[in-house]
Amino acid sequence: MNLENLLKQAMELEKTQAMVYKGLEKKFSFSKEIAQFWAEMAEDETGHYERIVEMYNKFGPEQLSVEVDNNLYDAVCKGLHELNLSRLSNVCDLCDACELAAEVEDYETTAVFEFVHARFKNDAQRLDVSNAIFAHLEKLGSFSDRFGSVDNKRLIKALKTDPT
């Protein structure tokens, strides 16, 4: 598989991740704090998408044809296949939402950025992207921690909204 296909799949994954976060924003729209958090997570994913598009547009045909690790490509495709908006219907409370978000963040988009930056040696941009992704993950962890235990998060019920 080549870099062009990998980046295209990663773009789709980022767009899907943003839509999931927007769905979580709707499911918790009764709480300004919680809804705002999910909106910010969606914005972060949109930013990741835009960074991939920027990389894609900067590369020429020779760079886009570089072969990539099939395991990395397969992992991104698996994430795209497994992640869909119907998963939102299983979110009954804040604990479920945080678990889904952790799963969303576990997909291989970070590895895509690392592969691109390692292969093409753009260290300044690599550091910037790595810092942004780390901050994004830290934001999710500290948000979840603010609400305490699993039992406390289970008490914050999600709205039964249509996931589309």
Q: Is the pTM of this model over 0.85?
A: yes
Give the pLDDT confidence score for residue 128 in this predicted structure: 63
Give the pLDDT confidence score for residue 12 in this predicted structure: 92
Domains of the chain (ranges, CATH numbers): 3-154 (1.20.1260)
CA-to-CA distance for 60 and 108, rounded, in angstroms?
23
Helix or strand holding residue 65 (H, E)? none
How does 50-71 read in b/e, with b if 16+ C-beta sit within 10 Å? ebbeebbeebeeebbeeebeee
The rounded average pLDDT for each run of 10 residues, N- to C-terminus, in the chain (164 residues) is: 91 92 97 98 92 88 89 83 89 96 77 70 57 80 94 96 62
Give the pLDDT confidence score for residue 144 in this predicted structure: 93
